[in-house]
Structure 1
Amino acid sequence: STETWGTSLWPLFCPREKRVAVGGARAYSSTPARDGLEGPARRRSYWRYVRRLVQGTPAPPYPRVCQVGDPALRAVAAPVEPAQLAGPELQRLVERLVQVMRRQHCVGLSAPQLGVPLQVLALEFPEALFRACAPRVREARQMEPFPLRVFVNPSLRVLDSQLVTFPEGCESVAGFLACVPRFQAVQISGLDPRGEQVVWQASGWAARIIQHEMDHLQGCLFIDKMDSKTFTNIHWMEVND
């Protein structure tokens, strides 16, 4: 996409660090990044190079999910200003959030995951995904389907502080799972994309999803709260097969 996110809603964008390719192999840049960390670089393929020349530099909201290492995932999201509610830029962001969330078959997505550090998130657990889970898993994790809900400038209140631990994954840490403790029940309140007040009290799996997405708005990932001994690559068995 070559669309541009309005600068009035985009004060916290942090450009990606430049990457350096050495030959055809992976290599680290000889110039340190601002925070002292830089991921392995790859030479861009010819077709990617041509696509970039034709389409220009991609701009948020991206049509895919940012991966851990992207500065946008570690920024504290800014609130959406009242003047921007119901405006075309916010509506475009919400539309993209829902589109990417459904395409990835995930149950929640936040604006920072598309490169936009704003307090916006989408949640949905459709019947199809619910039925894809084994009955014993549904019961153990207290799963119930719920319709699409979008929150702007949301706030969270804990209703039941009992901690429940289950495996959890994230589209921004693709291919990995870990056990994460979450509160049993919470209340999320905020605005819908039209600027109307909305409140939702949820428990079990829905409460977990809400807490996961709310963490994204604070620059927090599930790996920050996980039991590190349970951190798992979901493809580990394939490697040994």
Structure 2
Amino acid sequence: MSRMLGALLLRRLWVPVAWGRAAAGGSRACSSKAARDGVEGPVLRRSYWRHLRRLVRGPPEPPFMHVCQVGDPVLRGVAAPVEREQLGGPELQRLAQRLVQVMRRQHCVGLSAPQLGVPRQVLALELTQALCQKTPPRQRALRQMEPFPLRVFVNPSLRVLDSRLVTFPEGCESVAGFLACVPRFQAVEISGLNPNGEQVVWQASGWAARIIQHEMDHLQGCLFIDRMDSRTFTNICWMEVND
């Protein structure tokens, strides 16, 4: 009986941890007391078992298998270029593979290195036929949504080809659970290198151009909430709350 009681107590024990990069990967909870005391940012509370696991394994290292969320400083910094000597190297190849892996696991259409905790100018883009077909045909036509194969860009640059602004709802894996209407240029050109150091250029319009602009923003520390019409900011589960 005492052993069972001890196990229950351990299961309920939470270890407070200071907020910061070292606390990444834990479960977060805002502390009103911390706010009253003037502590900057929320207080991270970690279960005993999660705390013990981190003591044994150490904290996770980027590139993460999860997507960093708004509030993480890495999402607000300007990403640094990849050095020439890193092109084609194992570190860059691992980062590119991790971007594709997490992007596909999350069923999203683009992901940047800062979203995995790496402040470098690398991004991955892909819109599969299967993801396209999840959008109703009428919306696909309005958004000019066409599938495109996987593309990975290193040190990319952007050029506007058609400056007409088109506004549609947009979301982000780093602002999970929210959408808002965002204006984007109709057509752009993205140029850069692939992970092997070879020059690549892509001219895109419609939905593909939107995805490119969204991911390029990440490399400048910009999120879609910085460009959105704030009146359209929406929690995607708002109807479920009222149901």
TM-score range, shorter chain: 0.7 to 0.9
Query: How many angstroms does 1:45 deviate by?
Result: 1.1
Amino acid at match of 2:182: V
CA–CA distance in structure 1, aligned partners of residues 63 and 230 of structure 2: 31
Please state whether the residue corresponding to 2:221 is helix, strand or coil. Answer: coil
Query: How many angstroms does 1:157 deviate by?
Result: 0.1
Amino acid at match of 2:193: L
Which structure shows the higher helix fraction? 2
Q: What's 1:214 paired with?
A: 216
Query: What are the within-5 Å matches in structure 2 for residues 1-241 of structure 1?
Result: 16=21, 26-27=31-32, 28=34, 30=37, 32-33=39-40, 38=41, 40-241=42-243
Query: How many angstroms does 1:42 deviate by?
Result: 3.9
CA–CA distance in structure 2, aligned partners of residues 53 and 100 of structure 1: 25
Please state whether the residue corresponding to 1:136 is helix, strand or coil. Answer: helix
CA–CA distance in structure 1, aligned partners of residues 176 and 234 of structure 2: 11
Q: Deviations over 1:106-137 (max 9, x none)?
A: 00000000010000000000111011111011
Calculate percent identity across the aligned residue pairs.
Answer: 77
Amino acid at match of 1:156: L
TM-score (structure 1 length as normaliser): 0.87
Q: Which runs of 5+ in 1 are unaligned?
A: 1-14
Pair member with larger Rg: 2
Please state whether the residue corresponding to 1:79 is helix, strand or coil. Answer: coil
CA–CA distance in structure 2, aligned partners of residues 102 and 55 of structure 1: 26
Structure 1 segments of 4 or more deviating over 2 A? Answer: 15-19, 24-33
Q: What's 1:3 paired with?
A: none
Please state whether the residue corresponding to 1:94 is helix, strand or coil. Answer: helix
CA–CA distance in structure 2, aligned partners of residues 127 and 17 of structure 1: 39
CA–CA distance in structure 2, aligned partners of residues 234 and 52 of structure 1: 33
CA–CA distance in structure 2, aligned partners of residues 185 and 162 of structure 1: 8
CA contact (8 A) 2:63 2:118 kept: yes
Query: How many angstroms does 1:17 deviate by?
Result: 7.8
Please state whether the residue corresponding to 2:60 is helix, strand or coil. Answer: coil
TM-score (structure 2 length as normaliser): 0.86
* Aligned positions, number: 218
Distance 1:85 1:41, change over 3 A: same
Amino acid at match of 2:103: M
Q: Deviations over 1:140-192 (max 9, x none)?
A: 10000000000000000000000000000000000000000000000000000
Query: How many angstroms does 1:54 deviate by?
Result: 1.7
Query: How many angstroms does 1:25 deviate by?
Result: 7.6
